[in-house]
Every structure is written in C-alpha cells, then in structure tokens.
Amino acid sequence: MADKSFVIAVAGNPNSGKTSLFNRLTGSNLKVGNWPGVTVEKKEGEICRADISFTFVDIPGTYGLSARSEDERIAMDFLTKARPDAVIVVLDSANFNRNFYLFTLIMEMGLKVIPVLNMTDMAEKRGITLHTDRLAAIFGIPFVKTIASRGKGISALWKVLEGVGELRKPVHLPVYPEPVETAVQVLMERFPKEASSRFRALGVLDGGIVIPGNDELRKTVARFQGEIEEELQGEPDELIAEKRYEFVYSVAKECVERRMSTEQKVALTDRIDRFVTNRYLGGPLFLFAMWLLFFLVFTVGNPFADWINRGFGVLSSFVPGSGLFASFIREGLIAGVGAVLVFVPNIFILFFLIAIMEDSGYLSRAAFVADRFMHALGLHGKSFIPMLLGFGCNIPAVMAVRTLENEKDRVLTALAIPYMSCSARLPVYLLFVGIFFTRYQSTVVFSLYLLGIFIAVLVARTLRRIFFTKAVSPLVMELPAYHVPSVKTAAHSAGIRTLFFIRKAGTFIFGSVMVIWVLASLPLGVPYASAQSIIGRIGSAVAPVFHPAGFDSWQAAVALIFGFLAKEVVVGTFGVLYGGQAALSSAIGAHFSALSAMSFMVMTLIYIPCVATIAVIRREIGTKWAALSVGISVTLGYGLAVVVFQVGKALGMG
Amino acid sequence: MVPLAFVEPGSVVEVLDFRCGSACTCRLRELGIVRGCRYRVSTGAVNRPFILSNGETRIGIGAGMALKVMVKDVNHGG
C-alpha cells in the first residue's frame, strides 16, 4: 500500500521528448482517453514507487499557455484548476531559450516544478552545455539532465520525484516594470482562492486569459492596460512577453555555454531542408513519401490482415450446425467483428510509420510543403496525410486527424475524408464496370476517385465558409531538427493507438452487427437475409425511394442498407440475394442498365460513411459533426445519383 | 524595414514588428520570434514559405505570414 499519493503533470514544448520521458516513467501502466469535452488525447499513468503512488498526467505539448489555442487552454486549465502536486517540465536542451519560456510561465503559476533538461546528447553535439548547478543555485530547485529516448537520467529524476513532498517552489521569477507590477498586485486580489493568482493576473492583462463575464473586472483590466500603455509606450501583452524573454535570456547567459556550433551539422540540416522544401522538388518528394507510406501500410499490412481473415474463416468453420445460435456466431459475430479486426495490422503500421516520420522531423516539413496547396482547398497542410490515407481505409484516416493541432482543421478534415474512395468501395466498382463498362473500366473507376476528391474539397470549403468563417490558422511552425527516429517510441505510440481502436471500434461494431443480424434472421423460420426477413421487408419499403436514381429493386436497397456496415458488404449482399457469384452477372445485367449502374456507383461512393467510420468520426470530433457528416453524405449521394440518372436519361443514355 | 517575404535567403534579419493580430503575434512569440531577435533566412522567396534558423532552431513561416513580419536586413551574405 502506498503511504502518499501525488499527481504529477508532465508538460513541455512539442518535440521536446516529452512523450519518451512520459513512457519511461509510466512504462505500460497507461490509460488513454480524451480530455473532457474535447478530442485531444489524454494519457495518464499510475505507478507505485518507494511507497508513494504517482499519477502522471501527460498534458498537451505547447509553446505557451493561453486561451488562444485548444491545446494551450487544456494545459493551462489543468495546471491552474486541477493544481497537480508538481509539474515535470521537459525542456529540449538544444533549444533552451524557447523551451525555457514555457518553463517560466509554469513557474509563474506558483506550482512546484521539476525541470528536466532532455536530449542533452543532442545539445552537446551542437556545442551547447547546460550548467545545472548554476540553474539549481539560481532557482533553488534541482534540475535533472536526461536522454529520455535512451533511458538516461531517469533514476535521478525518480530520486527528485520521491522527495517531491519536500520540494520547494522556484525562488527566481521575472519582475515587471512598475505599472505592470502595480496592476498585478491589485488584480491578484481578484483571484483570492486561486494559487495561480499571479499568472492569472498577468494573463488577464496580456489577454491570454479570457475574463469571465465580470464587467467590473473587465473595466479594471482595461484601465490598467491603458495606464501601462501610456506610461511604458507599448502594448501590455508585448511588454510582458518581452520581459519574460529578457528573463529567459539572462538565465541563458548565466547557465548556457555555447561553443562554436558545429557548422557542418547545421549546413546539413539546411541542405536537407533546401532539398525537401524546394519549389519544384518538394512537392513530388512529398507525394513520393506519402505514396510510400500508403504502399507500406497496405503491402506490409495486408498479408497479416489476410492471416487474421483466414483465422476468422477457420474459426467460423469450427462453428457446427445451422441453427440460430450457430448463424449468429458465424454471420454476426465472426463475420462482422472480424471485418473490423482485419484492419488492425494496417492501422498499427500506419500509426507506426506516422510516428517514425514525425520523430525524424520530416512530417513537419511535409506539412509545410503541402500547406499552400491544402490552404487553397480550405484545409491545413497536415490534413493531407489523413486525406491520402482515406484511399486505403477511412477508419485509420479519421483517426489520423488527431495529429492536427487545431480543432477546426480536425473537424473539416474528418468531414472530408469519407469522400475519399476507400478500398472497400473498389469491389463495388469492379463488379459494375466488369458488367457494364468493359471497354472503359479504368477510366470509369478513376473518374469515381476524382469525383470523390472533388466532393471532399467542396464539402471542406463549404463547411469552412459556414462554420469557421473567422479563424484562419496562420502557418507558423517549428521544424524540429532531423534525427534518427526511435523505433521503440514509435512502436509504443502505435501500440497504444491500435489498442484504443480495437476496444472502441470493436465494441461499437459488435453492437451494430448484432442488430443487423437479428433483423436479417427474423421472423423465425425465414431464410437468412431473404425478402421475407425484416431486413428484406425494410428493403422493399425503401426501394421506391431509389426509383428516381434508376435502381429500385429491393435487393439494391438492402445492399445499400447492409453497405452501411461496411461497403464491401454491398457486393456480398448482391451475392447472397442473387444466388452466388455465378448468377450475379446476369442478375445484375437484368436489374441495372449502364446508366443506373453508374448512378448506383456514385451512390455507393458518397451515400454514407460506413458504420465504423461514423463511430470513429463521432469519437474524434463529436456526435454533432458525425450526424452532420451522415446528413450531408446521404443528401449528396442520393442527389448526385438522381442527377446522374436523370441527366443521362434526358441525354438518351438510359 | 521590409516584410520578411522580400528578403533573400542567406540574409541575417532582425525582427522589428508584426503586422498581424495579437493571436498570431502571440504564436510567433511563443516560438521565439520576438522583436529584436535575429535569424538567418534559410530558404524562402516571395509567395513561398520561409524557414528561419538560429543555431539548430528552425521556424517555418507561411507565405502569407512572411508578408506580415517586418524585418531589417542586418547582414546580407552567405
């Protein structure tokens, strides 16, 4: 039993090695979830050491702390409201000044801090030495040097953590000019119960903290801001930031020693940058990198996926009998849940490769290169990656939107992804073009992919105009130094995300599969998924709706309903309903014309994201947006199918 | 004082002012781009994104933003 328990937040800049350090501290004792009300990943790890229970909370990687961006707001709220017992601040030793700026903000919150100077090996290589003894003397707290990716310095960090109860707060903080300090002293009294009152007073002065609906406080703040502006001839937010930077520079001057930096290394980084962000080469290189990623996800993943698929096939053959229960296990449980679990290898590889690319430093360059093009489409540079992955499978693609920092970009990208024609839709196209468009197969299929991209762009642009008129996120980003990525860290982060996928998508799919299987089996005694079953009757009831689009057989309606589960099922449904592969061609030839086949393919492309994609959209960006996604896609899919058929008919192509 | 967008790669610039809103100034500041700081322009051209460097630190700035960051060309040369 633990005698004491402490909550320790882990903060730091992006690319400071925060994740590696967090993993080193928590091992596999991880809980992954979302921060309340938002879609930013929250990781927590509990661990017992020296009779003390530690709960580590990984807060989003940020450069500052203000209410201006979602990640920063989450970090700030957690630190000021949840008041952890101490904050580990991970600092990239090679980028001391910028990292120390965030550390300064956290010190101003009046919390106990444990500064960790990480990646000291990289700093040394660049001729930068940090004097922890001088830092400790100035601030009155221990500074720990680590190389988290290799586990160095972690035991020293644990020693500090074990004594966290007796740890002092830092004794050296920035001092602001007279009118600012006066304002801070007065404003601090407005936050009497808040231990972070100094940080909050500064925050309302520099506009980083939104003043809660309190008119009197707002007036007071405005008065102080006016006084500061008049006396010091500058905006309060700039004055405060400048003082903080002066503070950082003064500390750096005392404690950071820079020998002549290794010019060669810098030149190499510049040379790589000049190459990968080159006006003419950058784009093609980026496309090649994306193609390679996409290629590996499917070529490396598919054999494993096939094994899993075969495993489920074998499993299914072990289920004896033809009774209701056997059918439930085979057609419902194994076929339905198996269809989703088959994607696990692809998803793992996808997240692994993204982590590798991110760790190497290339991903931020890629986003940088794609930004201009994506911007024209109303999306962020980084949106390109999830969009491209959508061609493989929409599920991991939507999951990949969490690599975007901005809520608005996440929402727009997640809503655009379902129009990227995933591999599950291909069998449907192949079936129809093989029957109706034998001479133009590839052209027809390619045009469907293009239509998907066109609609994705249209949807993203329109939604941006409707919902996100104001905020245009400017492109300013850190381009981290190139380094050899850590396979272990990448595998770890891919593993966590994959498990999360298995759990959530798995449980949701399981529920949906049950419902659909029940509908296809009832009433008792009818053949599975026949016209007399409930689903068959629903199909017959829905079929007339599709009359204007040219396909009104109940089987087509049922195929589209089943296709909601997974779009491959559209083909499977036709197979079952029209009596197997052999009879399929002639039956479809009889029920469809070339024109109605085209409208049916357009419908299949657009009409609805599959149930698992909807579940993932819901989890990533919320129920409201998932509902909107379904609404838009159903309307667009049906509308376009009708347009294709009616225009075609008017032109005499029926 | 010229917008960063008109500076040639290889130049060393001193940041003088920002012609954008407080949110974007704040973002620049958090990344270490403040008045008075000096950066070398690694790559960039009009209508193209810029990369500023200082030691091992690299900051990418979009083409639009590069028009809003006002700088002084301190030392033109390799």
**Nearest-by-Cβ selection for B65 from A126, A273, A476:** A476
Whether residue A123 is found in the same domain as residue A10? yes
Mean pLDDT of A81-98: 91
Helix (H) or strand (E) holding B72: strand B69-75
Output the pLDDT for position B78.
39
Searching chain A, which residue's CA lies closest to the CA of residue B49?
A368
Q: Is the pLDDT of residue A374 over 90?
A: no
- Tell me whether residue A140 is in a domain: yes
Contacts of A69 in chain B (CB under 8 A): 27
**Nearest-by-Cβ selection for B34 from A245, A475, A481:** A245
A461 in reach of chain B (CB within 8 A): no
Which residues 470-499 of A are in CB contact (within 8 Å) with B?
Answer: 474-481
Ranked by mean pLDDT, the top range of A438-447, A607-616, B27-36, B54-63 is A607-616
Which residues 41-70 of A are in CB contact (within 8 Å) with B?
Answer: 62-64, 66, 68-69
Looking at chain A, the whole-number percentage of residues with pLDDT higher than 90 is: 25
User: How far is the C-alpha of A577 from the C-alpha of A531, rounded, in Å?
Assistant: 9
CATH of the domain at A135: 3.40.50.300
Whether residue A21 is found in the same domain as residue A140? yes
A207 in reach of chain B (CB within 8 A): yes
Place of tokens 């601040």: A89
- Tell me whether residue A493 is in a domain: no
Whether residue A77 is found in the same domain as residue A157? yes
Contact state of A237 with B56 under an 8 Å Cβ cutoff: no
Best B50, B56, B65, B70 member to test A by mutation, with max A CBs in 10 Å, is B56
**Nearest-by-Cβ selection for A277 from B32, B51, B56:** B51
Mean pLDDT of A551-560: 84
A497-524 pLDDT tens trace: 778 667 755 665 566 667 767 777 778 7
Contact state of B53 with A270 under an 8 Å Cβ cutoff: yes
Residue B70 near residue A281 (C-beta atoms within 8 A): no
Whether residue A144 is found in the same domain as residue A213? no
A95 in reach of chain B (CB within 8 A): yes
Output the pLDDT for position B77.
43
User: How far is the C-alpha of A514 from the C-alpha of A523, rounded, in Å?
Assistant: 15
Whether residue A16 is found in the same domain as residue A90? yes
Listed residues A166, A198, A213: the one ending a domain: A166
- Tell me whether residue A214 is in a domain: yes
Contact state of A242 with B48 under an 8 Å Cβ cutoff: no
**Nearest-by-Cβ selection for B65 from A69, A101, A475:** A475
CATH of the domain at A196: 1.10.287.1770
> What SS3 class is residue B56?
coil
Question: Within its chain, how far is the Cα of A161 from the centroid?
Answer: 31
A403-425 pLDDT tens trace: 676 778 889 999 999 999 877 78
Q: What is the dihedral of CA A274, A275, A278, A280, to 10 degrees?
A: 160
A261-306 pLDDT tens trace: 555 566 778 888 888 888 788 888 887 887 787 678 767 877 887 8
Mean pLDDT of A63-85: 84
Whether residue A193 is found in the same domain as residue A137? no
User: How far is the C-alpha of A583 from the C-alpha of B12, rounded, in Å?
Assistant: 73
User: How far is the C-alpha of A614 from the C-alpha of A526, rounded, in Å?
Assistant: 31
- Tell me whether residue A100 is in a domain: yes
Interface of B with A (CB under 8 A): 20, 22-35, 42-43, 45, 48-49, 51, 53, 55-65
- ipTM, two decimals, is 0.87
- Tell me whether residue A218 is in a domain: yes
User: How far is the C-alpha of A98 from the C-alpha of A13, rounded, in Å?
Assistant: 8
Which has more pLDDT, A479 or A423? A479
Q: Which of A564, A577, A570 is nearest to A634 (CA)?
A: A564
Mean pLDDT of A77-97: 91
Contact state of A241 with B56 under an 8 Å Cβ cutoff: no
Contacts of B33 in chain A (CB under 8 A): 476
Omega before B49 within 30 of 0, i.e. cis = no
User: How far is the C-alpha of A245 from the C-alpha of B32, rounded, in Å?
Assistant: 8
Whether residue A120 is found in the same domain as residue A221? no
Whether residue A191 is found in the same domain as residue A231? yes
Contact state of A126 with B51 under an 8 Å Cβ cutoff: no
Q: What is the dihedral of CA A146, A76, A401, A307, to 10 degrees?
A: 50
Contacts of B58 in chain A (CB under 8 A): 269, 273, 478-481
Res. A108 pLDDT band, cuts 50 70 90 = very high
- Tell me whether residue A352 is in a domain: no
Which has more pLDDT, A489 or A583? A489
Contact state of B49 with A98 under an 8 Å Cβ cutoff: no
Q: What is the 3-state secondary structure (H, E, C) of A438-486?
A: HHHHHHHHHHHHHHHHHHHHHHHHHHHHHHCCCCCCCCEEECCCCCCCC
The Cα of B65 is separated from the nearest Cα of chain A by a number of Å equal to 7
Residue A238 near residue A231 (C-beta atoms within 8 A): no
Output the pLDDT for position B32.
82
Listed residues A142, A166, A190: the one ending a domain: A166
Contacts of B62 in chain A (CB under 8 A): 371-372, 375, 474-476
Best A91, A105, A476 member to test B by mutation, with max B CBs in 10 Å, is A476
Res. A138 pLDDT band, cuts 50 70 90 = very high
> A117 has which bridge partners?
A91, A145
Mean pLDDT of A361-369: 80
Looking at chain A, the whole-number percentage of residues with pLDDT higher than 70 is: 87
CB pairs under 8 A between A and B: 114
Amino acid at residue number A169: K
Ranked by mean pLDDT, the top range of A294-303, A556-565, A625-634 is A625-634
Both structure tokens of A604: 């299949």
Residues in chain B predicted with pLDDT less than 50, given as ranges, are 77-78
- Tell me whether residue A186 is in a domain: yes
Contact state of B62 with A371 under an 8 Å Cβ cutoff: yes
Domain hosting residue A123, numbered range: 4-166
Searching chain A, which residue's CA lies closest to the CA of residue B68?
A474
How many domains does chain A divide into? 2
User: How far is the C-alpha of A413 from the C-alpha of A397, rounded, in Å?
Assistant: 9
The Cα of A284 is separated from the nearest Cα of chain B by a number of Å equal to 16
Ranked by mean pLDDT, the top range of A174-178, A398-402, A529-533 is A174-178
Q: Is the pLDDT of residue A57 over 60?
A: yes
Residue A15 near residue A64 (C-beta atoms within 8 A): no
Q: What is the dihedral of CA A236, A239, A241, A246, to 10 degrees?
A: -160
Output the pLDDT for position B2.
87
- Tell me whether residue A500 is in a domain: no
Contact state of B61 with A475 under an 8 Å Cβ cutoff: yes
DSSP for A129-188, please give it.
EE-HHHHHHHHSS--EE-BGGGTBTHHHHHHHHHTGGGPPPP-------HHHHHHHHHHH
Output the pLDDT for position A641.
95
Listed residues A258, A285, A317: the one ending a domain: A258
Contacts of B65 in chain A (CB under 8 A): 474-476
Contacts of B48 in chain A (CB under 8 A): 279
A260 in reach of chain B (CB within 8 A): no
User: How far is the C-alpha of A302 from the C-alpha of A77, rounded, in Å?
Assistant: 43
Searching chain B, which residue's CA lies closest to the CA of residue A483?
B56
Res. A554 pLDDT band, cuts 50 70 90 = confident
Contacts of B15 in chain A (CB under 8 A): none
**Is A211 buried (19+), middle (13-18) or exposed (0-12) by CB count in 10 A?**
middle
Whether residue A58 is found in the same domain as residue A205? no
Output the pLDDT for position A125.
81
Res. A328 pLDDT band, cuts 50 70 90 = confident
Residue A604 near residue A570 (C-beta atoms within 8 A): yes
Whether residue A218 is found in the same domain as residue A142? no
A98 in reach of chain B (CB within 8 A): yes
Average model confidence (pLDDT) for chain A?
A: 83
Output the pLDDT for position A35.
62
Whether residue A195 is found in the same domain as residue A154? no
Non-local (6+) Cβ contacts of A299 within 8 A are none
Whether residue A106 is found in the same domain as residue A247? no
A269 in reach of chain B (CB within 8 A): yes
